[in-house]
Amino acid sequence: MQLQMPLPPKYTEADEDWLTEQVLHRKEQFGSALCILAHHYQVDAIVDLADFVGDSLKLSQQAASRRDARFIVFCGVHFMAESADVLSGPDQAVCLPHLAAGCAMADMADATDVSAAMEEVRRLAGCQVVPVTYVNSSAEVKAVTARAGGAKVFAIPDQHLGCNTAAAMGYGDDACVVYDPQKPEGGLTAEEVRRATFILWNGYCYVHQLFTPQHVRAARARHKDIQVIVHPECPREVVALSQASGSTEQIIQAVTAASSGSRWAVGTESHLVNRLARRCGDKFVRILSDRPSHCLMMARIDLPHLLWTLDSLAEGRIVNRVSVPSQIAADAKIALERMIATKAVKEATRTKTQ
Ligand code: 13P
Ligand code: SF4
């Protein structure tokens, strides 16, 4: 994680209305030279000022399509800003308003460890292993995994997403083993690796890991007709008990398109769920757990940091630029384009079968 320098009191002591007004003023000044992107987990004050709001893949596609924007200010976490930098042009600068806004899960897999682990797993398995990287990973991890190919799947960095993907492909839990990078040989025997089809990196999201099967049962006990929809970063048992799972964008689409009066318990970050509840006033929409689930990393981006970034850009200083070295960016781009293509195929298949 990188350090963020403290802001001058002009920003930290200002009230929300003034900060909002100043950001709007800067947006007007920059015009199409500025593009503010925001992830669905951002607070309303940021979402309301963004030019585009989306899930991680959609935001990186948006960054790729806004060639007229000299500055892309990314209100999300570090790996998302990296993806935007990889997919945008060399004359565009991607800035993350708070440098310490990193994704805790992406930080659980470092490129050197992943490279070493891939070698180790191949040796133990005695065959090729296909590394499958989730979008929540650093550009360097994406690059390392895009270079490799093989027969078993090594899912990095989220064990839950890996296990949920295996289940969606019809594999049982016995097809999965967890690789712990803190232990010699991942804590696995050669026999365990040979028998498994999915080797899961021991990473997780602390926000989604908190949802439990008990939350699903309690929601159903309160409202018999409630539908449960969760993010696939939730544990396998939670996804198995739910009616549906999907990315933040897919969750929003499913609930928005549902019939008036329907009831939903949603297993993902609280800012998204609360906003969805307000926007779908004709439905009953609640967080799945009994307490808020906040991503503290996303919350580091706030109005003072956004305005400070825009003021600096206006004064000719490019601050908090996220720049992926070109030799890493080329391979990370291959991984990202594969993720975007897989998503497009899945969406086309879903549309056809609806
Ligand atoms: P999405 O890509 O579904 O927006 O998820 C990103 C994320 O960090 C979820 O925790
Ligand atoms: Fe990362 Fe979890 Fe926050 Fe998503 S919710 S950005 S996976 S820490």
User: Which domains are assigned to the chain?
Assistant: 9-103+297-323 (3.40.50.10800), 109-203 (no CATH), 207-294 (3.40.50.10800)
pLDDT tens digits, one per residue of 254-281: 999 999 999 999 999 999 999 999 999 9
Ligand 1 contacts CB of residue 250 (under 6 A): no
Residues with CB under 6 A from ligand 2: 77, 103-105, 136, 205, 207, 233, 269, 295, 297-298
pTM for the model stands at 0.94
In the block, tokens 């682990």 appear at 117
**Cα separation, 264 vs 247, whole angstroms:** 16
Ligand 1 contacts CB of residue 60 (under 6 A): no
Q: How many angstroms does the Cα of residue 192 sit away from the middle of ligand 1?
A: 31
Give the residue, out of 42, 57, 137, 231, with the most ligand 1 atoms within 8 A of its beta carbon, to mutate for a pocket test: 231
**Atom 1 of ligand 2, residue of closest alpha carbon:** 103
Give residue 145's pLDDT band: very low, low, confident or very high (50, 70, 90): low
pLDDT value of residue 352: 38
Q: How many angstroms does the Cα of residue 195 sit away from the middle of ligand 2?
A: 31
Average pLDDT rounded to a whole number, residues 113-121: 94
Q: What percentage of residues in the chain have a pLDDT greater than 70?
A: 94
